[in-house]
Amino acid sequence: MSLDKATVARIATLARIEVPEDQLEPLARELSGILGWIEQLGEVDTSAVEPMRSVMDIRQDWRPDTVDAGDCQADILKNAPKAHDGFFVVPKVVE
């Protein structure tokens, strides 16, 4: 699979990463190289294989659906680039 500039630009938008125009072409080459190398997986017959989603056969724990943490507004806001009056401040979403 070979990726062109337009596809790389589309993926970058999906990933919300700004990529300067002059880097699209080199990135397309690199990503095509990696994807071309990955393509060899097509050789493996996986017709009767269940996808492996978890590597260990561990029973996942259940816990009561109760609040066991919280009351830490100040801690949560401590790292905010912008905060005001107990809230995160974000750029305007609705014009």
Terminal CA-CA length for the chain: 40
| Cβ 30 to other proteins shortest distance, Å | 6
For position 58 contacting other proteins by CB under 8 A, the verdict is yes
CB 8 within 8 A of CB 28: yes
Structure tokens at 72: 């830490």
| Cβ 67 to other proteins shortest distance, Å | 15
Question: Parallel, antiparallel, or unpaired for β 87-88 and 83-84?
Answer: antiparallel
Residues that bind other proteins (CB under 8 A): 3, 7-8, 11-20, 27, 30-31, 33-35, 37-44, 46, 49-56, 58, 60-61, 63, 72, 75-76, 78-82, 88, 90-93, 95
